[in-house]
Chains A and B, each alone.
Chain A
Amino acid sequence: MALAPTQRPGALATLRVVELGDFIAVPFAGKLLADLGAESIKIEPPFVGDASRRVGPFPGDVPDAQTSGLFQYLNTNKLGVTLAVEQPSGTDLFRRLVAEADVLLDGQTPAFWDRLAQRDGADPRDAARGTVVSVTGFGQTGPYRDYRSEALITCAASGVSAAIGLPKEPPLSLPLSQSHYSAGLNAAIAALLATFAARKSQGPGPRVDVSEAEAMATFISGVGIQSFVAEERIRMRMGHRSGHSPHLNATLPCKDGFVTFDTPQKRQWLRLLALIGSEDDPAEVDPLSPDLPGQIEAKLRPWLMSHTKAEIFALCHERRIPMAPVNTAADVLASEHLAERGMFVQNGQWTMPRLPFIFSQTPVAIRRPAPTLGEHNEEIFARRLGLTPGELLRLRRARTI
């Protein structure tokens, strides 16, 4: 009998993870591991919990620490405990938890660990026999090691923001805390790599330093580094157009919204002009024009305004002209393509996206929803670590758990 997807073990079923990090970056890394089957223990501050519990969206806009959509998405498949790691009794329990883990995901500031190391004579993370992956805005070393950061800040630092928006107007960011998602994905990759490394040597696993700003400064902005050094090329902000593109690469209004074209090959934009032109009024441009994109846009705009996103997409898809509608949330949820691929899954009262992989043998699945605050305190602290009911009560009263 074939197991239902939620019963087959994930690809990472042999991995044990402890996660201490707030909001998006570390929790997204943790979701990547947990959704692939790793046993994951998420540590939250007692009573307050992860910040994403407070951010929403909430069904009917009614705030509730358990129903925040972002929290529910980011923390699927995790066990949840509350622990004040900075209190000495909490630090003890933390050390015991991480001693058993293959991976510790750490989103605390370097200063946080400095204080505890000073107090206790050793960094509590040293107790981790597996790998420790630390994610901060700017990294564990360097002049900005202790800089405060948010997604807006690291996106600005990385060079990405400078190329989004209008030339003389304020630069914009990638949407919705993307810096944090990027950092989380980088951290998850580094965590798996570290487990490969750990197998090759005795002793504790590698201590990994992931910087949110650098993840984007390298993979995204850093693609242009030699262009800059050799030719002083700097990607400019050009609003709806792609900064340096000599061809049509732009987002343009249409009858019921916006569409985006990116046609790097001449035959692609020629097919587009053929589509919009007619015998009486062929759409022609001068291919040697210094503003070829502008010329093509000028021909396109009137035609676009008399066609809907869906019409334009249907016509262009069949002619292999690279473009797409600028989909809204409604469009995305209505996508037949995504529906056929099972992109949205039901998790309690929420409809949410799945992670973007389809594994043929070890499907990604939601085996348990995001934990309630401290849901697994009993299971982890009492049953696993052997704390007595008296000890648990004392720790609760002290707000350590």
Chain B
Amino acid sequence: MNTQSSVLPLAGYRVVDFGWVWAGTVAGQIMADMGAEVIKIESRRRLDGLRLGRVFEVGETLELNHHFHNFNRNKKSLTLNISQPRAQELIRQLVSRADLVLENFTPGTLRKYGLDYEALREVKPDVVMVSVTAAGQTGPLNDMLAYAPVMQSIAGFDGLVGYEGGPVFGVKQAYLDVMSALFACYAALAALHHRDATGEGQHVDVSGFDVGVSLIPDVLMDYTANGRVAGPQGSSHPTMAPHGTYPGREPDSWIAIAVTDEREWIQLGEALGNPPWCGESRFADLAGRLAARQELDALLATATAQHVVGDLTAELQRRGVAAFPVHNIAGVFFDEHFNAREIFRQVDHPVAGPGYVYQTPWRFDGEPAPIRRHAPLLGEDNHEILVGLLGLSEDEVARLQAEEVVY
């Protein structure tokens, strides 16, 4: 992509970002990375939990939390105390000059402040608003207080995660937060596309619960069609065997291997030095390997345990077999391919110094989206927006600060 900020895909679009913590915030992050002017509305009255490190760990000041830095790079910060009528008025003025509003408050919160979709349409008839919440704007559970690990359970997701025949573990990592943020971003782009084509804005309701359900269609459809209720799956797969993770020679090293056909099965055997069980007729075809899956996994584990997983991966890939080490974050950070692709970038922050953030993971004409700016300091862009954009005088701003409107 042309990395000059004036020619990035979303250059010229202005976003009012009420997002806090993860899901709403990352939708804004993507749009900021892609060139939109994303104005994060925050306030000392109720700080984004990530500034304080409440959700992840305790940070020491408002400017040191690296999760905050990651999710809010390329954005601007405007401190407005949303509970104050004058602040609400200023936000409405801002929205009248914006294209999109992103928010992930509990349903009903913005209505309390006169900043819900109906109210904002009065100042900007074609405004696009995307609301992303745990369980959506409507329905008996719309007030549900929950984080991703909980929504992953209610959506039917977690029940599939555990060893076969064992207890449910659940995913635990916040996969649904990421997917909700991405769906919200997608919805925003689609709604903006429609608005650009027709002049019509709209409100989009994105629910984490809905997101989880939409990502496990086959399990749900196997139930509606055949009455089957799936439980913990282990690493097994209905049409591939072997398919799973197997130990390597070094402590806590594992290799993921997936074999789809007979050619790959033979190649796997050769790469392992043709242990005698590889040639057994019961393993010769997929049906046989699926039937004797557990025994196969145990035998394969004894073979892989003699190899360094990186070396075995290279050998298997050379032979056209899908294999890869199970990386933890250290593995990802030091991996030669991910380094060549520069998926993490150092960004200099005025208070915290240099810190790593992840790169938005797609390249346009070979170029990733540039990280143009550090995550904003609290209220860093107050002057530019209040005076420069909204036309307030310096005196007015000072007064509003004293009144804790700009706060």
Contacts and interface: CB of A to CB of B under 8 A. Distances in A.
A190 B246 CA distance: 34
Interface in A215-254: 215, 217-230, 234-235, 238-243, 249, 251, 253
Given A150-B240, A226-B69, A249-B172, A260 B360 contact: no
Contacts of A221: 329, 332
A325 B150 CA distance: 8
Interface residues of B, number: 153
A203 to B, nearest CB: 11
A208 B364 contact: yes
Contacts of B180: 356
Interface stretch (B82-90, B200-208, B271-279): B200-208
Interface string B217-235: 1111111111011110111
Contacts of B333: 225, 228-229
Interface stretch (A277-285, A295-303, A334-342): A334-342
B327 A157 contact: yes
Given A218-B343, A243-B172, A341 B222 contact: no
Interface string B241-274: 0011111000010101010100000000000000
Contacts of B175: 160, 174, 178, 220
Contact of B218 (A176, A239, A260, A317): A176
Interface in A108-131: none
Interface in A160-212: 160-166, 168-176, 178, 181-182, 185-190, 192-197, 200-201, 206-211
Nearest to B136: A341
B216 A176 contact: yes
Contacts of A70: 217-218, 221
Given A217-B361, A225-B344, A153 B258 contact: yes
A211 B217 contact: no
Contacts of B26: 219
B394 to A, nearest CB: 36
A240 B170 contact: yes
Q: Which of B69, B160, B244 has the most CB of A within 10 A?
A: B160
Q: Say whether chain A's binding surface is mostly helix, strand, loop, or mixed.
A: mixed
B356 A229 contact: yes
A5 interface: no
Given A259-B153, A358-B136, A159 B328 contact: yes
Interface of A: 11-15, 32, 36, 54-61, 69-70, 73-74, 138-144, 147-150, 152-166, 168-176, 178, 181-182, 185-190, 192-197, 200-201, 206-211, 214-215, 217-230, 234-235, 238-243, 249, 251, 253, 258-262, 264-265, 317, 320, 322-333, 336-338, 340-341, 343, 349-362
Given A73-B217, A144-B317, A235-B329, 12 more contacts: A57-B218, A162-B331, A164-B171, A172-B162, A176-B233, A178-B175, A196-B192, A235-B173, A258-B168, A260-B152, A340-B138, A341-B210
